Chain A
Amino acid sequence: MKKIINLTIDDQKIAVDEGTTILEAARKSGIKIPTLCYHDDLCIAGNCRICVVEQENMRTLPASCATPVAEGMVINTNSTKVRNARKFLVELLLSEHNADCTACVKNKHCELQTLAEQNHIREHTFIDLKDDKNYTIDKLSPAIIIDYSKCIRCQRCVRTCEEIQSISALSAAYKGKDMKITTFFEKPINTVVCSTCGQCVAHCPTGALTEHFYIDEVWDAINDPDKHVVVQTAPSVRVALGEEFGLKPGTIVTGKMVAALRRLGFDEVEDTDFTADLTVIEEGNELLRRLKAKLVDKDESVKLPMVTTCSPAWVKYCEHAFSDQLGHLSTCKSPMSMFGALSKTYYAEKFKIDPAKIVSIAIMPCIAKKFENNRPEMRASGYKDTDYVLTTRELAIMIKQAGIDFNSLKDSSFDSLMGVASGAGLIFGNSGGVMEAALRCAYMIVVGKDIPFEDLSITPLHGSEGEIVEMSVKFTGTKPEWSFLEGVTVNVAHANMLSNAYKIMDEIKNGTSKYHFVEIMSCPGGCIGGAGQPLPTNKAKRTARKEAIYTGEKMIEIRKSQDNPEIINIYDDYLGKPLEEKAHKLLHVPGFTPRKRY
């Protein structure tokens, strides 16, 4: 039992657990203290000082986010002293900040702008410091753009990169007036260890960190009569897009999303969930092949555990941090890249369209996908497989640009050929989803029966955010060709956030890992918490999206990837057998790229 502490905030008597901060105590009582460097996902920094409050009998104004409550404390969150300090602090930040708000992507979504409004800033009290700063913009990465003139040095990105991802691609450098947030040796972000996960973007309160926008390029393609524009949408976009239009987090807007895409002028609207199913088949078969090679053929060159590669930031991180362990990575492309390759081969052939004229667009919850589609490995079709990647937010911008009243759209459904998906494809949006889908598939292949979970829902895998979830599956009653797996217990695990990936990979590297199959997602909660999703990001929203994915799955009759008729079709008609020939050429990468650790 924690000790109860009694205190007074703005004349309200409050009792909270020991260890609670003043900020948390105030929030519990409905008192809103403005914050800036504070973020629910991150550790306390206490550096912006916006949340200062007045404490009776204390000379200084403590930062409420960083100060634990104490017995008998009397706090005033709205005294003249506090208001004056806060106003000055906001004005100071503005004097260093490029406040060209109308030309900023964060216009109306910027936390500094909101603070300026709340604190009634109507003039520039202080001298403009921007000219002294030699601010630059780093636009070289296909995924992330850093506009240093908008950075307020709250270090949320620094904490995100360190705590959530264990990478520290961004850190504070220099001191005093020259203090800035930057990369290793101030190199462009595309040349350092950055995984491009973009969580820094999702946690940045201003427009300093943004995704690299490709909206104009996509409009150009749509408006070019010579081009045939195919679009795919990732599983987790449909449970988040509605937030951009005022809908509750977790609202499923699949039909409206498809309708909006048609209205925007895309020629064909297909579903990434379809290629998620395809990934399951390929990856499930790859796992079984590796198990056989290891257990039966005793082939030491085959690496176990096999680790999924759907999350592009994870792949890049692994190439940097564990470049000697790349043999553990599944060679399967991500669903997006499988789709990209197929859109300019299978799709082009079926509809007799010149692949040179096809522009393949992907709507993703992800920023790292903008790096992935630019990888040289992703050109199996002979063209750039996926031309442009847009985030959920960029799609929302386009819908607003086009003047579409999203909420009144009539539901539409995906086109066929690559538009049907099983529930297994949809749950890719959640951390653990790939694992669940793969187990359903593999169990059926090996045992010839459904994996024994009610409704095929492998609930032990529905772990919570930031957790390494483990599970063991024992194969009994195997088919003759898989008899080597009879009685074998396969250990699997899944984790989200690269800080957890590090823990798992460290064990693998040391040879102490007990797993056979591991799924890793870079972002908190998986793709539903991707950096391209509507902002601000927080656990409540991510949880609502996660629930929506599982609810959505329940509405889909087909639950296993191999039961998807379009999947059966594509193998019969085009690909042949999993892992072989065409499937191998189009759906797998030839290898990975070892990268430096700095």
Chain B
Amino acid sequence: MNDGIKINRIDSIFKDYVDNKFDYLKKIMTMSNEEIIKNLTESGLKGRGGAGFPTGSKWKFAAEQSSDEKFVVCNADEGEPGTFKDKEILLKVPHKVLTGMTACSKVTGAKKGYIYLRWEYKFMKNDLQKSVDEFNEELEKMKIDFKIYIVLGAGAYVCGEESALFDSMEGMRGEPRNKPPFPTESGFMGKPTVINNVETFATSTMILSFGGVNYAKLGTDVSHGSKLFSISGDTAIPGIYELELGMTLHDFVEKFGDGDTKAVSVGGVSGALVPRKKFKDTIIGWEGVPTGGAMILFNSTRSIYRILHNYLEFFEEESCGQCTPCRIGCQQLKKGIEAVKKGEEDPSYLDTLASLSKVMNVSAKCGLGQSVMNPVLSAVNNFREELIY
């Protein structure tokens, strides 16, 4: 383990270690299912979409299910504001994603794989389709009974939630389902399904090519390896960076900030809005602030009220609207901070709103409504004056 990480740039996801893009596939297909699971488990890889479920376990659960049909789904509904890494992966190294999906199909026995591509990425569909066709052809040549398809989303943020994504793929209105059952038991079309983020599949390919143990050497005890960060906002060097996990937010801001950073949205709008005073104590990783990779930096010219208002406006639009806490809670939070700002409600109403966000956090049906609390609590607890005056 590498303690005391400052900022360590890694070059794995976008780099090719091989001559031919099918070399990964060929190597992985020589591995046994047990070897694949073992490598993934040893790597400590957790879902890179943000929820952080151990990938090895997910594949194993799906493999253990007996069913006439199983599916592999790649979640390319990269909707979190501030994240744009999956787009880059699909544009630059799609074969790594496709290889990861194929490895998953080998383990689970799935015969069909789907890439759920967000509507806003339809510009890349033709190119991606070419890569998929080429890859499918290779699979056929290698006599691998697995085929990959692209499904286009329709533009709803909530469809990035895995079960809403299945609804959308099935042609229905995208609404998160009740869990359990989880997708590995009942997912797309009610069949066992592994659904992983684009980056997770690409990372799996890399782990399987250079070994899980090697990958686990990066990062901390809890947050292994490296991941992609989409860095935007008040920074001179925005972009996508692959960084070793476990750095503090302080070190991160030292590197990427503009010298005047007052807060960072770690994990996009549904993540915490971390204030400067907490930069030193905040580790970017599962032990601190987990993230799907979106890092939005704000300097002192930005109004936290405006930022939070913008986030809440986003949530009240993008909630699917089915569950009470999320549908009405988001509207109340936005209305509430407006009323406090205008002086129509007492500043103490912010505490009611904080309590409301906590109730949403425990009672909402899916991650969308549950995570609205993150920016709200950060703002109310750390930037209260900005919300009042």
Using a CB–CB cutoff of 8 Å, the interface residues on chain A facing chain B are 44-50, 52, 59-61, 63, 66-68, 81, 84-85, 88-89, 92-93, 95-96, 125-127, 129, 132, 152-153, 155, 171-172, 174-179
Contact = CB atoms under 8 A, between A and B. Distances in A.
A179 B324 CA distance: 11
12 contacts: A46-B178, A48-B324, A49-B324, A52-B363, A68-B180, A84-B355, A84-B359, A88-B325, A88-B355, A92-B325, A175-B319, A175-B321
Contacts of B331: 96, 129, 132, 177
B320 A179 contact: yes
Contacts of A129: 328, 331-332, 335
A174 B173 CA distance: 10
B365 A67 contact: no
Contacts of A125: 352
Contacts of A81: 362
A176 B318 contact: yes
Interface of B: 156, 158, 173, 175, 178, 180, 315-325, 327-332, 335-336, 339, 345, 352, 355-356, 359, 361-365, 370
Contacts of A179: 319-322, 327
A172 B321 contact: yes
A89 B363 contact: yes
Contact of A175 (B318, B356, B361): B318
Given A176-B318, A179-B322, 15 more contacts: A52-B363, A89-B359, A92-B329, A92-B332, A93-B324, A129-B328, A132-B331, A153-B321, A153-B327, A172-B175, A175-B156, A175-B158, A176-B315, A176-B327, A177-B321
A92 B324 CA distance: 7
B335 A127 contact: yes
Contacts, number: 113
A89 B324 contact: yes
B191 to A, nearest CB: 19
A63 B365 contact: yes
A67 B336 CA distance: 32
B372 to A, nearest CB: 12
Contact of B336 (A46, A85, A127, A172): A127
Nearest to B334: A177
Nearest to A54: B362
Q: Which of A52, A89, A129, A175 has the most CB of B within 10 A?
A: A175
B178 A95 contact: no
A371 B315 CA distance: 42
Contacts of A66: 178
B265 to A, nearest CB: 20
B290 to A, nearest CB: 14
A1 B386 CA distance: 62
Nearest to A173: B173
Which of B158, B173, B352: most chain A Cβ within 10 A? B173
A193 B302 CA distance: 52
Contacts of B361: 60
Contacts of B339: 127
Contact of B321 (A59, A60, A178): A178
Contacts of B158: 175
A175 B320 contact: yes
A44 B365 CA distance: 13
Contacts of B156: 175
A49 B318 contact: no
B363 A49 contact: yes
A95 B331 CA distance: 10
Contacts of A178: 321
A219 B228 CA distance: 74
Contacts of B328: 92-93, 95-96, 126, 129
A49 B364 contact: yes
Q: Which of A44, A127, A153, A178 has the most CB of B within 10 A?
A: A127
Contacts of B355: 84, 88
B362 A126 contact: no
A46 B365 contact: yes
B352 A47 contact: no
Contacts of A49: 323-325, 363-365
A60 B363 contact: yes
Given A44-B178, A47-B365, A176 B332 contact: no
Contacts of A175: 156, 158, 317-321
B358 to A, nearest CB: 9
B321 to A, nearest CB: 2
A177 B316 contact: yes
Contacts of B332: 92, 95, 126-127, 129
A44 B181 CA distance: 13
Nearest to B323: A47
B359 A174 contact: no
B337 to A, nearest CB: 11
B370 A60 contact: yes
Given A60-B370, A92-B329, A129-B331, A176 B320 contact: yes
Contact of B322 (A85, A132, A153): A153
Nearest to B352: A125
A350 to B, nearest CB: 57
Nearest to A89: B324
Return the 8 tightest CB-CB contacts between A and B, nearest first: A179-B321, A66-B178, A92-B328, A47-B322, A176-B319, A46-B178, A177-B316, A88-B359
Given A46-B178, A126-B332, A179-B327, A61 B320 contact: no
A155 B323 CA distance: 10
A66 B178 CA distance: 6
A15 to B, nearest CB: 20
Contacts of B320: 175-176, 179
Contacts of B327: 153, 176-177, 179
A3 to B, nearest CB: 15
B322 A61 contact: no
A127 B337 CA distance: 11
Contacts of B323: 46-49
B180 A67 contact: yes
B329 to A, nearest CB: 6
A153 B320 CA distance: 12
Contacts of A92: 324-325, 328-329, 332
A567 B358 CA distance: 69
Contacts of A45: 322
Contacts of B180: 67-68
A85 B359 contact: yes
B362 A59 contact: yes
A177 B330 contact: yes
A178 B331 CA distance: 10
Nearest to B329: A92
B178 A67 contact: yes
Of the candidates B178, B318, B328, B364, the one having the most CB atoms from chain A within 10 angstroms of its own CB is B328
Nearest to A96: B328
Nearest to A171: B173
Contacts of A127: 332, 335-336, 339, 345
Contacts of B175: 172
Nearest to B314: A176
A134 to B, nearest CB: 14
A87 to B, nearest CB: 9
A155 B363 contact: no
Contacts of A89: 324-325, 359, 363
A172 B320 CA distance: 10
A48 B321 CA distance: 11
